């Protein structure tokens, strides 16, 4: 017959299992970050290759593709290790469904590369294709963050996800800018897209500022990062202020690419630090939980409890009862005390976790509202975002509240005319 | 090497595992409901025994205790079957910690009964003790509802939990009323408590109205239920309107007990229907998910996909691409289509689940705010609830918003002077 202590131990083991799953998650989030990074470079070089009519950047692009293939193999290998049987029902199903989607994209990657080789797709199509694949990879990290059972780990995953998303906006900025310089002239639609990407980066980094450990936040304002950013801002100004149809110097294409790349590589260093910190936090949590488990085992039979403790000591009277007993049992703690402490701690953890997950949920609501606006009003992503932001400003409400209102209207919105 | 289809299948299996765990949960929620029911009767009879100075109700009480022991043995046996290894990290740990707490209470039950046998505890102490144990059992059901991965099942668990909670308030009402009639006079504090219990029952049944299937809701207003309620309301009026210190007829004690018991037994019939429906819903969901799994298997190699589908058909263009393909592939669906459908469905399920869980979270916030008020201002539960309700009315806000504000103030509240 199982006792209260058995279930107390089971609760602790359950926590440890969850942490161990998170530690495994941390390792494949790391390789996912590397895969995203290499695909971002491949996207940028592909755009430069296309913009140069296939006359330059051929070698650099092929080298990058070889590197992407290597990291893809690593990623596929890591994914094999994901243990389906140990997954949680809801989050697990979502995670696997996201992985299935990524695999569809990876399976089509060589066909995509061939289209680019033969220059049958233009820079816009090529950018869009890579954006889609990288978004699918980021969705995997999002689900991982959403399924974390420990608030401290969840905070780190939320920071990491937002950092990766911000870095992806920086990567899209590099691709769009490279195509603009490469084409030799400025178009207003592309300028608007660029501004949207810059703003989106900043939003993501704000969230990182809230959730990342302080020493990592400090890396974001290191001197060499700021220096690169100053160079980048000069080029951004050129891109965004050149009047519609005016000439952009194609020779700045390489300078732009190198500057963006220097910045993104600096971001990669921060990202590496975030994934490393995530792994370390998992290990530390596991060690701590195991120590607690061991300490539970030690108290098992020592203090035979008063069977009426449950009815006398629980609730309001707990402190008083505790105080009156403490001279007798200075070192010994009853199972009931442990159950109380444990329940309190788990409750606090659950509450904190809900708070962290709320920030993910806000993102989900905003994304869905944007998707709805894009589908119903034929808007681009940038326009949909601008619409939401404008509504929020006009109504003096938070953007997430406006997004929720948009979703609530979904059923009554007329279908789009195509 | 695992394919996209493998992960699609893994996602479905993950859902099925979750549903099977829920089916197991449904069986032990059922025995938990039976244990609560028998303890509620034992509490009522114990109060009548104590109120009669141990001169009456001895036999009925002992018969009831024997029955409680039987159901307790069933409960302990069911609990043995809870599989710790398959549990989710956060909710699982909370659930086990709750079970550990219940076991502490059950281990002390015979000592409690002895106190009552020897009449060393009065009706207030005895009621309080049983209330605590039953609350611990209800907390187990609460965690089960909170950990459900399927929104349809979660709705049923939320309805069931609220129904059990409402029935427990009805049981407390029976115990308090029995003690009042038994003591032979009306006290204002007990009258206030009775009113609070009546109001709390109604609040719980409102939530049941929102989440229970309609045919079960209809049972709540069946003719024989209404007839019993009319008798009960008459006796409630006697209890609540008799002026402070006035005489209550002790011979009404038995009438009160029987009327309350008739009502609670009618509620038990509804509860049985709710647990039965829960089990059936789990079975139906499992069968449906397994049929879907089988249909996934059938499409495996049939339609070799265009590797560029991912980059062309996803997102906005999905419908258009789908339409253009549909004449060719009327019956065959690609893995990519399935992945899209699956992701959409899982997302919708996740959103719905969050909405259902929000109602549980509201309850948690209100309970914590009440606990805080009780500790800091030395209020009874009824007084704390009244305070929150009064604040909500004064500020024209929902009670949950007021509760959140109270919790936000927790750090700045002065410690209670004892």
> Which of B6, B76, B310 lies closest to A1 in CB terms?
B76
Instruction: Test A89 with B18 for CB contact under 8 angstroms.
Output: yes
In a domain, A345, yes or no: yes
Residues of B in contact with A11 (CB under 8 A): 92-97, 100
Boundaries of domain holding A347: 334-418
Instruction: Test B316 with A8 for CB contact under 8 angstroms.
Output: no
- B280 and B350 together in one domain: no
Instruction: Test A17 with B353 for CB contact under 8 angstroms.
Output: no
- Closest alpha carbon within chain B to A306: B108
In the predicted model, what is the mean pLDDT of chain B? Answer: 84
Q: How many domains does chain B have?
A: 2
Instruction: Test B346 with A93 for CB contact under 8 angstroms.
Output: yes
The ipTM, to two decimals, is 0.80
pLDDT of residue A229: 86
- A230 and A339 together in one domain: no
pLDDT of residue A321: 42
- Closest alpha carbon within chain B to A115: B308
Beta-bridge mates of residue B247: B185
- B251 and B393 together in one domain: no
pLDDT of residue A402: 86
pLDDT, tens digit only, all 418 positions of chain A: 788 888 888 888 888 988 988 888 888 899 999 999 999 999 989 988 998 888 888 999 999 999 999 999 999 999 888 766 556 666 788 889 999 999 999 999 999 999 999 999 988 899 999 999 999 999 999 988 888 888 999 999 999 999 999 999 999 999 888 888 888 888 888 888 899 899 889 889 988 988 998 888 888 877 777 788 889 999 999 998 888 778 888 888 889 989 999 999 999 999 999 999 999 999 999 999 999 888 887 765 555 567 788 887 544 444 444 444 443 443 456 778 888 888 888 888 888 888 888 888 888 888 888 888 888 888 888 788 888 888 888 888 888 888 888 887 776 655 544 4
- B375 and B246 together in one domain: no
Q: Which among A344-348, B116-120, B366-370 has the top mean pLDDT? A: B116-120
pLDDT of residue A250: 81
> Which of B3, B8, B375 lies closest to A97 in CB terms?
B8
In a domain, B295, yes or no: no
In a domain, A147, yes or no: yes
- Which of B258, B287, B316 is the last residue in one of the domains? B287
Q: What are the tens digits of pLDDT across the range A311-354?
A: 875 444 444 444 444 434 434 567 788 888 888 888 888 888 88
> Which of B98, B132, B311 lies closest to A129 in CB terms?
B311
Give the SS3 label for residue B247.
strand
In a domain, A296, yes or no: no
Instruction: Test B14 with A87 for CB contact under 8 angstroms.
Output: yes
Residues of A in contact with B101 (CB under 8 A): 4, 310, 339-340, 343
Where is average pLDDT lowest: A283-297, B107-121, B321-335?
B321-335
Q: What is the rounded distance in angstroms from the CA atom of residue A224 to the CA atom of residue A269?
A: 12
- A18 and A154 together in one domain: yes
pLDDT of residue A316: 43
Residues of A in contact with B21 (CB under 8 A): 89
- Which of B225, B257, B287 is the last residue in one of the domains? B287
- Closest alpha carbon within chain B to A370: B316
Instruction: Test A90 with B149 for CB contact under 8 angstroms.
Output: yes
Confidence of residue B121 (pLDDT cuts 50, 70, 90): very high
> Which of A4, A10, A112 lies closest to B104 in CB terms?
A4
Percent share of chain B, pLDDT over 90: 35
Instruction: Test A361 with B354 for CB contact under 8 angstroms.
Output: yes
Least Cα separation, residue B64 to chain A (angstroms): 20
pLDDT of residue A414: 54
A vs B, Cβ pairs < 8 A, gives 232
Residues of A in contact with B309 (CB under 8 A): 104, 108
Confidence of residue B99 (pLDDT cuts 50, 70, 90): very high
Residues of A in contact with B17 (CB under 8 A): 85, 87, 89
In a domain, B305, yes or no: no
- Closest alpha carbon within chain A to B88: A88
One DSSP character per residue, A241-258 reads: HS-TT-B--TTHHHHHHH
In a domain, A249, yes or no: yes
Which residues have CB under 8 Å from B4's CB, separation 6+? A99, A100, A101, A103, A104, A107, B335, B336, B339
> Which of A89, A90, A308 lies closest to B108 in CB terms?
A308
Instruction: Test A101 with B21 for CB contact under 8 angstroms.
Output: no
Which residues have CB under 8 Å from B74's CB, separation 6+? B31, B34, B35
Q: What are the tens digits of pLDDT across the range A272-322?
A: 999 999 999 999 999 999 998 888 877 655 555 677 888 875 444 444 444
On the CB side of B58, CA atoms within 13 Å amount to 8
Residues of A in contact with B89 (CB under 8 A): 14-15, 17-19, 21, 88, 149-150
Q: In this structure, are residues A127 and A115 in contact, taking their beta carbons and an 8 Å threshold?
A: no
Which residues have CB under 8 Å from A80's CB, separation 6+? B1, B2
In a domain, A306, yes or no: no
User: In this predicted model, which residue has the larger pLDDT, A307 or B326?
Assistant: A307
Residues of B in contact with A107 (CB under 8 A): 3-4, 307, 310
On the CB side of A95, CA atoms within 13 Å amount to 24
- The C-alpha torsion from A279 through A281 and A287 to A293, rounded to 10°, is -120
End-to-end CA separation in angstroms for chain B: 67
Written as six digits, the tokens of B109 are: 């039950």
- Closest alpha carbon within chain A to B139: A343
- B204 and B349 together in one domain: no
Q: Where are the alpha helices (DSSP H) in A212-251?
A: 214-219, 223-241
Give the residue from A394, A367, A407 showing the smallest Cα distance to A204.
A367
Instruction: Test A308 with B115 for CB contact under 8 angstroms.
Output: yes
- B257 and B397 together in one domain: no
- Chain B interface, best mutation among A73, A101, A128, by max B CB count within 10 A: A101
pLDDT of residue B328: 40
CATH of the domain at B351: 1.10.10.10
- B234 and B373 together in one domain: no
Phi-psi region of B213 (alpha: psi -120 to 50; beta: other; left: phi over 0): beta
Q: What are the tens digits of pLDDT across the range B392-401?
A: 888 888 888 8
Residues of B in contact with A95 (CB under 8 A): 11
Length in residues, chain B:
418
pLDDT of residue A301: 54
Q: In this structure, are residues A4 and B104 in contact, taking their beta carbons and an 8 Å threshold?
A: yes
Q: What is the rounded distance in angstroms from the CA atom of residue B14 to the CA atom of residue A416?
A: 36
Residues of A in contact with B339 (CB under 8 A): 97, 100-101, 104
> Which of A7, A110, A375 lies closest to B96 in CB terms?
A7
Instruction: Test B85 with A17 for CB contact under 8 angstroms.
Output: yes
- The C-alpha torsion from B36 through B40 and B46 to B48, rounded to 10°, is -170
Instruction: Test A343 with B94 for CB contact under 8 angstroms.
Output: yes
pTM of the complete model: 0.84
- Which of A259, A287, A315 is the last residue in one of the domains? A287
Q: In this structure, are residues B142 and B168 in contact, taking their beta carbons and an 8 Å threshold?
A: no
pLDDT of residue A203: 87
Mean pLDDT computed over B358-383: 84
- A258 and A347 together in one domain: no
pLDDT of residue B243: 82
- B259 and B350 together in one domain: no
> Which of B97, B340, B374 lies closest to A346 in CB terms?
B97
Written as six digits, the tokens of B35 are: 């244990």
Q: What is the DSSP letter of B306?
A: P
- B207 and B352 together in one domain: no
- B213 and B362 together in one domain: no
Q: In this structure, are residues A105 and A136 in contact, taking their beta carbons and an 8 Å threshold?
A: yes
Q: Match 């099942």 to its residue by tokens.
A: B153
Where is average pLDDT lowest: A41-50, A299-308, B87-96, B372-381?
A299-308
- Closest alpha carbon within chain A to B22: A89
Mean pLDDT computed over B249-267: 89
Residues of A in contact with B315 (CB under 8 A): 132
Instruction: Test A104 with B11 for CB contact under 8 angstroms.
Output: no
In a domain, A311, yes or no: no
**Residue B271 clears pLDDT 90, i.e. is over it:** yes
Q: In this structure, are residues B163 and B268 in contact, taking their beta carbons and an 8 Å threshold?
A: no
Least Cα separation, residue B249 to chain A (angstroms): 31
- Chain B interface, best mutation among A5, A7, A321, A357, by max B CB count within 10 A: A7
């Amino acid at each position: 017959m199982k006792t209260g202590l058995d279930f107390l131990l089971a609760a602790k083991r359950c926590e440890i299992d969850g942490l161990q799953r998170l530690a495994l998650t941390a390792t494949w989030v790391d390789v996912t970050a590397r895969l995203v990074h290499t695909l971002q470079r491949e996207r940028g070089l592909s755009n430069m290759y296309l913009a140069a009519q296939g006359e330059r950047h051929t070698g650099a692009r092929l080298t990058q593709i070889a590197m992407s293939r290597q990291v893809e193999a690593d990623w596929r290998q890591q994914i094999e290790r994901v243990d389906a049987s140990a997954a949680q029902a809801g989050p697990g199903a979502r995670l696997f469904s996201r992985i299935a989607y990524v695999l569809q994209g990876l399976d089509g990657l060589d066909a995509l590369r061939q289209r680019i080789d033969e220059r049958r797709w233009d820079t816009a199509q090529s950018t869009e294709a890579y954006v889609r694949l990288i978004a699918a990879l980021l969705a995997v990290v999002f689900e991982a963050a959403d399924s974390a059972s420990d608030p401290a780990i969840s905070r780190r995953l939320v920071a990491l996800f937002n950092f990766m998303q911000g870095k992806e906006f920086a990567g899209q900025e590099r691709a769009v800018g490279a195509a603009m310089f490469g084409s030799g002239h400025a178009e207003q639609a592309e300028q608007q897209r660029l501004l949207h990407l810059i703003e989106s980066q900043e939003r993501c980094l704000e969230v990182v500022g809230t959730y990342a450990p302080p020493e990592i936040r400090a890396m974001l304002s290191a001197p060499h990062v700021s220096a690169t950013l100053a160079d980048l801002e000069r080029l951004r100004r050129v891109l965004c202020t050149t009047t519609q149809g005016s000439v952009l110097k194609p020779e700045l294409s390489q300078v732009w690419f190198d500057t963006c790349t220097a910045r993104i590589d600096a971001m990669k260093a921060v990202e590496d630090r975030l994934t490393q910190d995530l792994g370390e936090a998992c290990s530390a949590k596991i060690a701590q939980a195991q120590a607690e488990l061991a300490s539970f085992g030690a108290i098992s039979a020592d203090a035979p409890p008063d069977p009426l403790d449950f009815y006398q000591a629980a609730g309001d009277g707990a402190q008083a009862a505790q105080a009156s007993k403490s001279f007798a049992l200075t070192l010994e703690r009853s199972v009931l005390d442990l159950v109380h402490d444990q329940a309190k701690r788990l409750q606090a953890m659950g509450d904190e976790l809900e708070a962290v997950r709320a920030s993910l949920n806000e993102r989900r609501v905003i994304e869905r509202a944007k998707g709805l606006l894009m589908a119903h009003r034929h808007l681009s992503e940038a326009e949909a975002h601008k619409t939401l932001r404008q509504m929020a400003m006009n109504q003096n409400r938070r953007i997430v509240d406006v997004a929720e209102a948009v979703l609530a209207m979904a059923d009554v919105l007329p279908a789009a005319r195509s």
